[in-house]
């Protein structure tokens, strides 16, 4: 399933708590949940910390941008950059313009391994990030992915239920086959009473398929040799 999932407000509030906790515990100015909106990537949620320069809705072109998150998404692996200004591979990346020189990020994936985005923390000073921070980030990443998986499959099931409902209506219509007189076109109901087609359909059977038979009156007219008495 390729269409993006909708994140309910209750989940959004939960995720906001995650980035706020990360920023406070790790002691950094920015904790973010980024979301891919191909070909861009946007800040989905940002920690409510005083020195955070990122805001929900901020968006950048992703592919070929040189962003930390681009590497995380492409590699589908953790990325740690203690100080971009001391690393030739990172000294010119766009986040350094915001003085965000230290980065730790993890990919956040759909169940089919497509990228949802990243969970990341950034710092304005050199930060090698502790193993405890890495473990905390990993646990939060797994929590995000569990939420995404649940939402993903709920959405998939919702779409499937729509299809199943269509099938159910078709089956209901097939089961609703009713006997109709081949001559006068009257329809026999479950009480063995015969009705004109128009009145029968108006009673709420627009999906019913029609078969053909004869009502007693027409049978006597059409086949008098059988002396039909039904």
Do 33 and 76 fall within a single domain? Answer: yes
Total structural domains within the chain: 2
Is residue 3 domain-resident? no
Do 88 and 146 fall within a single domain? Answer: yes
pLDDT-based confidence at residue 225 (cuts at 50, 70, 90): low
CATH no. for residue 53? Answer: 3.30.450.40
Is residue 52 domain-resident? yes
> Which residues form the domain of 95?
9-155
Is residue 140 domain-resident? yes
Taking only the tens place, the pLDDT of each residue in 111-159 is 999 999 999 999 999 999 999 999 999 999 999 999 999 888 888 776 5
Euclidean distance between the first and final Cα of the chain, in Å? 58
Do 147 and 175 fall within a single domain? Answer: no
Q: Is 26's pLDDT higher than 50? A: yes
Do 151 and 175 fall within a single domain? Answer: no
Is residue 92 domain-resident? yes
Do 149 and 83 fall within a single domain? Answer: yes
Do 133 and 191 fall within a single domain? Answer: no
Domain closes at, from 94, 126, 155: 155
Taking only the tens place, the pLDDT of each residue in 42-61 is 999 999 998 899 999 999 99
Do 187 and 147 fall within a single domain? Answer: no
Q: Whole-model pTM above 0.85? A: no
Do 194 and 218 fall within a single domain? Answer: yes
Do 42 and 140 fall within a single domain? Answer: yes
Q: Is 19's pLDDT higher than 90? A: yes
Q: What is the pLDDT of residue 212?
A: 57
Domain closes at, from 155, 190, 205: 155
Is residue 1 domain-resident? no
């Amino acid at each position: 399933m390729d269409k993006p999932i909708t994140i309910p407000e209750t989940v959004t509030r939960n995720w906001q708590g995650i980035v706020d906790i990360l920023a406070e515990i790790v002691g950094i100015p920015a904790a973010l949940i980024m979301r891919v909106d191909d070909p861009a990537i946007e800040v989905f949620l940002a920690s409510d910390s005083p020195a955070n320069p990122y805001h929900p809705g901020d968006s950048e072109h992703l592919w070929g941008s040189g962003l930390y998150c681009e590497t995380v998404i492409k590699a589908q692996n953790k990325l740690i950059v203690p100080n971009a200004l001391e690393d030739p591979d990172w000294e010119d990346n766009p986040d350094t313009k915001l003085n965000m020189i230290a980065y730790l990020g993890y990919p956040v994936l759909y169940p089919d391994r497509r990228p949802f985005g990243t969970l990341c923390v950034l710092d304005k000073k050199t930060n090698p990030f502790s193993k405890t921070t890495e473990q905390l980030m990993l646990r939060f990443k797994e929590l995000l992915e569990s939420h995404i998986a649940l939402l993903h499959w709920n959405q998939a099931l919702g779409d499937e239920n729509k299809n199943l409902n269509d099938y159910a209506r078709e089956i209901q219509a097939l089961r609703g086959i009713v006997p109709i007189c081949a001559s006068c076109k009257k329809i026999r109901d479950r009480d063995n009473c015969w009705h004109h087609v128009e009145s029968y359909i108006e009673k709420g059977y627009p999906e019913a398929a029609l078969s053909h038979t004869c009502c007693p009156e027409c049978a006597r007219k059409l086949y008098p040799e059988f002396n039909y008495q039904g």
